[in-house]
Structure 1
Amino acid sequence: MRPDVVRLFQTLPHPCGYYDERTAQNLVIDPSAPQLPQIYDLAVQRGYRRAGGHVYHPQCQGCHACIACRVPVQRFHPDRSQRRCLARNAGLSVRIVPTACTSEYFALYRSYLQSRHRDGGMDDARPEDFERFLYTAWSPTRFIEFRDGERLVALAVTDFCADGLSAVYTFFDPEQHPRGLGSFAILSQIRIARERNLPHVYLGFWIDGHPKMHYKARFRPLEILRDNRWTALG
């Protein structure tokens, strides 16, 4: 195979994670391709996401609901609710650290999954699941810790790409739900991107009208990828 050719694979149909009555398929870049670390930045800019060592994009028959979205950080201004979130969490320390599977991280991860995804197949996670899902040897991943004093309350798994930050996954202490730690993590990623002169924060996929995805539309101006063009969400 030519060194400048990268294979794409399509997965078999599997249950959709957002609509019970639908099946889903993904287009996956060959995870064994030696060029994957070099092309990952471009893949993110073209709407791909990373889960472990797999870089993928939804490719579902008859459904185009999942739309890649990103925040242009220089034009972002928090709304009233987001300003309250920032004030509510102003006492937290925020620190960028290397990836690792520590007992502290894993305990928080497992607690979050048991609260949010009970009986969904993810709630009995093992340490190897943590590593396999969140980061890989070649990915430009860092963890962003959020601590209340010494206590870890949230962790944002973030890829530091050339064009911006890609918010891979965030988990937090379920007992701290009223603090809005998921939103605070995104607001922190936007601040970090701005400080590093990175133009975007990629938030994965937005689904119009879906209750699990509605929160992303509050980070205005939000850009969405349609017909291979990034345009403002109206």
Structure 2
Amino acid sequence: MTHHPTQSPQFFLTAPSPCPYIEGQFERKVFTHLVGDKAPEMNDLLTQGGFRRSQNIAYRPACETCRACVSVRIIADEFKPSKNMKRILRRNADLIGAMHDAEPTTEQYSLFRTYLDARHRKGGMSDMTVLDYAMMVEDTHVDTKIIEYRRRGPDSFITGKGQGELIAVALTDKMADGLSMVYSYYNPELEDRSLGTFLILDHIARARAAGHPHVYLGYWVEGSRKMAYKVRFGPQEHLGPKGWDRFDTEAV
């Protein structure tokens, strides 16, 4: 077993590879391992500094000629949903999310595969096996949760769980100052529900209920259609050279 020191993390730099968001650009990432007893504390500090987590790795862009990737976090206690977002909340009022420890299931993987095949067939995750999925969920040394969304049952107010088929899943890190949405997926056939938006709205509600100020959404790339949805949730802050600055979402 490889031993990774926990007191002074080592950082590494990847080789250049084609950027998935901007044609003609090449991306590089700086990364470190999140392991040991100090991993949750380190994950908090790094996420607040613009890093993202993937399994036991924390990484952030370190591109030589581009600074397009911008870390985004929603100010949960100030968030006000738009009229369309309110409609989405009403449309999904029959769903309930049950949060539990990060443990993979065959039911999750089946939905995950359906989502990838419909939405990201040519993406970097398209060939993930059930073992790869299990590693994505389980390989964590921080406080990671799985939230499973199903339709409400008659006893949901007692159990806190839904019933029936699995409709959506969120892999989420609980942090000292909020929630970090690591990865989420859902039934792609239920387009009228706008489940991607609903999952973010649900995380904002969870953060606010817990008294946490932020929901971390990862990176936004201006001009990228894949990332455009992230700036619809305001007010929010973007990480710049001088720290986190309030961002005017209405200007986009």
Class of the TM-score when normalised by the shorter of the 2 chains = over 0.9
Relative to structure 1, the CA distance from residue 29 to residue 228 in structure 2 (aligned partners, 3 Å threshold; closer, same or farther) is farther
| Aligned 1:79-90 pairs, distance under 5 A | 79-90=82-93
Q: Which residue identity lines up with residue 195 of structure 1 in the other structure? A: A
Give the match's secondary structure for 1:170: strand
What's the TM-score, normalizing by structure 2?
0.87
Q: Please, what is the CA RMSD of the aligned residues?
A: 1.8
Inter-partner Cα distance in structure 1 for 2:27 and 2:37: 27
Tell me the equivalent position of 1:212.
226
1:129-186 residue CA offsets vs partner (Å, 9 max, x unmatched): 1123344241211011111241111001100011110011110011112211011000
SS of residue paired to 2:222:
coil
* 1:203–1:120 distance in 2 versus 1, CA, 3 Å: closer
Give the paired residue count: 234
Q: CA deviation at 1:226?
A: 0.2
Decide whether aligned partners of structure 1 residues 31 and 224 sit closer, same or farther in structure 2, where only a CA change above 3 A counts. same
Amino acid of the structure 2 residue aligned with 1:167: M
- Equivalent residues of 1:49, 1:57 under 8 A apart: yes
Residue aligning to 1:169: 183
Deviation, 1:100, is 1.3
Matched, 1:16 2:30: no
CA–CA separation in structure 2 for the residues paired with 1:35 and 1:71:
26
- For residue 128 of structure 2, what is the aligned residue in structure 1? 125
1:195-206 map, 5 Å? 195-206=209-220
Aligned match for 2:236, one of 219, 222, 229: 222
Residue 190 of structure 1 is matched in structure 2 by: 204
Which deviations, in whole Å up to 9, do the C-alpha atoms of 1:60-91 show, x marking residues without a partner? 11100000010111100101111111011011
Pairing of 1:66-81 with structure 2 (within 5 A) = 66-81=69-84
Name structure 1 gaps, 5 residues minimum. none
Q: Deviations over 1:168-211 (max 9, x none)?
A: 11100111122110110000001011111111000001111211
**Residue 40 of structure 2 aligns with which residue?**
37
Between the aligned partners of 2:170 and 2:32, the Cα distance in structure 1 is 24
Alignment of 1:102-113 (within 5 A): 102-113=105-116
- How far is 1:3 from its partner? 6.4
Rounded to whole Å, the distance in 2 between the matches of 1:86 and 1:18 is 30
CA distance in 1, matches of 2:222, 2:216: 17
1:95 aligns with 2:98: yes
Deviation at 1:233, TM superposition (A): 1.0
